[in-house]
């Protein structure tokens, strides 16, 4: 049974009058489930495309769970591994060579440009669709499907490090719910973050044309650091006994870290691009069972790894890619009992990119990095805590530590004050309050204009601005009420949150021009953060939690 937000997103895709749609949902929201329902409802040949064996297998299992017979377009060893996974997980094999639905590996697809089935496909779906560019292998694969009249791309992170857009490959972007909403509704696990001392010094490490750290220089920086000992030490101190994934810079670092884990009594394995297929499957199976506690991986579990039992993520690989950061972060957010995911950030990724459930704006257009973080975060200065949290509360919400405040005399700009109204000078506060009160009061007509047409125009302008202020005040009250009364946040923290979310504090907001206040009111009303959605029918939810192999 589909969850309500999945059903809503599929309906939007079905009702769209464009031929190529990019669908955006967070990691763990059930994209493969949606893919299987779209394939099941489509009347004609169709294919779902992925770029790694693990993702091909995950999509195939989702299709099998929906009772969809499908062919696999991949090397023979992958087809055999998928069949075995069907028997283990589904107790029946849904792979059929003559099926009108296919699941394809992108590399195999582009090696078979004349394949009769592929030439007949009228619908394609592609996982991790942010990879697509017209001139790369994903774009070339789509171009081979000449009879396709519809295409649907799926991604959690529709942004690219090279700042290229996706508008050449898709006509429309449709978004599902955000990560925070899914956490509050119980469809994703909540998390806690530890901002640990940065173990790899990235100063002097160049950023390539792609926008990412230079791989060779980053590997050299990692070799000269204390990252291995720090990762194992903090894992044992903060979350011993929890199943984890550790993301590392290169195979050498991953091998050394896995050895250090094992020497500390933690069962660990190494996973990278050259790990043989059967060994990858065995690692995944051992992690789901009780035979493995840590997987030290190099760019392998950043996308698509579905291990609900995973409880912690250790970040030992700095990245300039917000998409990669978010993918890695979310590996431990799959619901599993009452778990809370633990993030151990050793490389400053959280400070670099912000919290992954922060509100962001996505677009198909290129030219800038999509979804730049808009909220401030901070790390607790208490060495016994070091937890990362929103930078709105004046004290750490976990241990109560409060930073010392310096001299704030003369500070008047909210940019300098992180939106904390309690630090405004008395003179500025008095001025802002007086201006807001003047707008809310009666219109003042200069003596020389009274009784003339100018007086009427001034009165109309004042009424428009007063009405806009009243509507904006109500919108602010409702927005703040969600954080104060629903989430239990302090009023001071909510002041800070408002400033970081909308770029203006509440007092200045109420002294703007009428059009500016109307525009801000619309932004506030459209803001989804802090809204607690009603519980939905959770029956049949196990059909969304695919036990991928």
Per-residue CA distances from 55 to 74, 174, 412 (Å)? 12, 22, 53
**What are the φ and ψ backbone dihedral angles of 401, each rounded to 5 degrees?**
-60, 135
d(CA 463, CA 502): 25
DSSP 8-class letter at 404:
P
Q: For the purposes of burial, counting CB atoms within 10 Å of the CB of 59, is it exposed (0-12), middle (13-18) or buried (19 or more)?
A: buried
CB of 247 within 8 A of CB of 256? no
Q: How far from the centroid of its chain's Cα atoms is residue 386's Cα?
A: 23
Residues of the chain with pLDDT > 70, as a percent, come to: 81
Spatial strand order in the sheet of 268-271: 268-271, 294-297, 244-247, 312-315, 341-345, 191-195, 387-390, 377-379
Maximum separation of any 2 CA atoms in the chain, in Å: 90
Per-residue CA distances from 24 to 27, 60, 261, 366 (Å)? 10, 21, 36, 16
Would you identify the CATH topology of the domain 4-177? Rossmann fold (3.40.50)
Would you identify the CATH topology of the domain 184-390? Rossmann fold (3.40.50)
Residue the block writes with tokens 């989430």: 487
pLDDT tens digits, one per residue of 494-544: 877 787 778 777 777 887 788 888 899 998 888 876 665 444 333 344 445
- Helix (H, G, I), strand (E, B), or coil: what is residue 2? coil
Please determine, for residue 349, whether its predicted confidence score (pLDDT) is greater than 90.
Answer: no
- Mean pLDDT score, 54-75: 94
d(CA 524, CA 517): 10
**Least confident among 52-61, 95-104, 124-133, 520-529:** 520-529
**Domain ranges within the chain, ordered by starting residue:** 4-177, 184-390, 414-526
Please determine, for residue 331, whether its predicted confidence score (pLDDT) is greater than 60.
Answer: yes
d(CA 248, CA 299): 8
- Mean pLDDT score, 358-385: 66
CB of 65 within 8 A of CB of 90? yes
pTM over 0.75: no
Residue 533's nearest CA partner among 482, 495, 497 is 482
**What are the φ and ψ backbone dihedral angles of 321, each rounded to 5 degrees?**
-90, 115
Most confident of 62-76, 208-222, 457-471, 525-539: 62-76
Question: 184-390: same fold as 4-177?
Answer: yes
Grade residue 312 by pLDDT with cuts at 50, 70 and 90: very high
CB of 258 within 8 A of CB of 269? yes
CB of 63 within 8 A of CB of 38? no
CB of 334 within 8 A of CB of 307? yes
Number of Cα atoms under 13 Å in the Cβ half of residue 4:
10
Residue 416's nearest CA partner among 476, 505, 523, 479 is 505
Torsion angle, alpha carbons of 457, 460, 462, 464, to 10: -140
**What are the φ and ψ backbone dihedral angles of 536, each rounded to 5 degrees?**
-110, 175
Please determine, for residue 194, whether its predicted confidence score (pLDDT) is greater than 90.
Answer: no
Question: In this predicted model, which residue has the larger pLDDT, 125 or 481?
Answer: 125
CB of 253 within 8 A of CB of 308? no
- Helix (H) or strand (E) run with residue 73 in it: strand 71-73
Q: For the purposes of burial, counting CB atoms within 10 Å of the CB of 190, is it exposed (0-12), middle (13-18) or buried (19 or more)?
A: middle
**Least confident among 124-133, 311-320, 345-354:** 345-354
pLDDT of the residue at 447: 52
d(CA 419, CA 506): 9
d(CA 325, CA 319): 7
Mean per-residue pLDDT over the chain, rounded: 81
pLDDT tens digits, one per residue of 447-492: 554 555 555 565 666 677 788 888 888 888 888 888 877 777 777 7
Angle between helices 514-526 and 491-502 (to 10 degrees): 110
Beta strand residue intervals within 252-401, DSSP E: 268-271, 294-297, 312-315, 341-345, 377-379, 387-390
d(CA 337, CA 308): 9
């Amino acid at each position: 049974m589909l969850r309500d937000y999945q059903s809503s997103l599929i309906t939007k895709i079905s009702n769209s009058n464009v031929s190529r749609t990019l669908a955006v949902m967070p990691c763990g929201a059930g994209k493969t489930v949606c893919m299987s329902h779209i394939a099941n409802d489509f009347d004609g040949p169709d294919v779902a495309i992925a770029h790694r064996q693990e993702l091909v297998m995950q999509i195939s299992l989702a299709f099998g769970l929906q009772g969809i017979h499908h062919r696999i377009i991949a090397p023979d060893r992958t087809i055999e591994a998928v069949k075995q996974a069907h028997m283990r997980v589904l107790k029946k094999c849904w792979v059929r060579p003559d099926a009108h639905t296919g699941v394809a590996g992108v590399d195999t697809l582009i090696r078979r440009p004349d394949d009769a089935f592929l030439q007949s496909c009228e619908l394609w779906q592609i996982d991790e669709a942010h990879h697509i560019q017209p001139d790369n292998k994903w774009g070339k694969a789509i171009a081979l499907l000449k009879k396709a009249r519809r295409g649907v791309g799926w991604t959690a992170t529709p942004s690219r490090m090279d700042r290229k857009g996706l508008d050449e490959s898709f006509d429309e972007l449709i978004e599902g719910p955000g990560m925070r909403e899914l956490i509050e509704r119980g469809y994703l696990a909540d998390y806690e973050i530890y901002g640990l001392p940065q173990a790899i010094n990235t100063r002097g490490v160049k950023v390539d044309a792609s926008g990412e750290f230079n791989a060779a220089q980053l590997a050299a920086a990692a070799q000269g650091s204390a990252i291995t000992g720090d990762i194992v030490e903090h894992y044992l101190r903060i979350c011993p006994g929890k199943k984890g994934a550790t993301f590392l810079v290169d195979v050498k670092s991953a091998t050394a870290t896995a050895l250090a884990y094992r020497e500390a009594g933690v069962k660990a394995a190494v996973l990278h691009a050259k790990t043989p297929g059967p060994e990858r499957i065995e690692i995944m199976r051992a992690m789901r069972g009780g035979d493995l506690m840590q997987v030290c991986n190099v760019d392998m579990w950043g996308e698509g790894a579905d291990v609900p039992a995973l409880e912690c993520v250790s970040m030992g690989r700095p990245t300039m890619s917000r998409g990669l950061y978010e993918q890695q972060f979310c590996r431990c957010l799959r619901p599993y009992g009452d778990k809370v995911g633990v993030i151990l950030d050793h490389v400053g990724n959280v400070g670099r990119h912000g919290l992954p459930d922060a509100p962001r704006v996505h677009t198909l257009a290129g030219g800038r990095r999509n979804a730049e973080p808009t909220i401030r975060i901070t790390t607790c200065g208490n060495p016994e805590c070091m937890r990362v949290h929103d930078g709105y509360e004046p004290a750490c919400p976990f241990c109560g530590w409060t930073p010392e405040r310096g001299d704030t005399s003369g500070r008047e700009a909210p940019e300098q004050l992180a939106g904390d109204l309690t630090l405004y000078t008395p003179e500025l506060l008095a001025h802002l309050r007086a201006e807001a009160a003047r707008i809310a009061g009666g219109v003042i007509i200069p003596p020389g204009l009274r009784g003339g047409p100018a007086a009427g125009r001034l009165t109309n302008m004042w009424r428009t601005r007063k009405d806009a202020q009243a509507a904006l005040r109500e919108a602010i009250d409702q927005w703040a009420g969600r954080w104060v009364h629903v989430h239990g946040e302090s009023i001071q923290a909510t002041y800070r949150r408002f400033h970081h979310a909308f770029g203006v504090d509440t007092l200045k907001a109420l002294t703007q021009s009428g059009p500016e206040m109307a525009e801000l009111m619309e932004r506030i009303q459209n803001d989804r953060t802090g809204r607690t959605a009603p519980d939905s029918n959770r029956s049949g939810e196990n059909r969304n939690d695919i036990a991928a192999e």
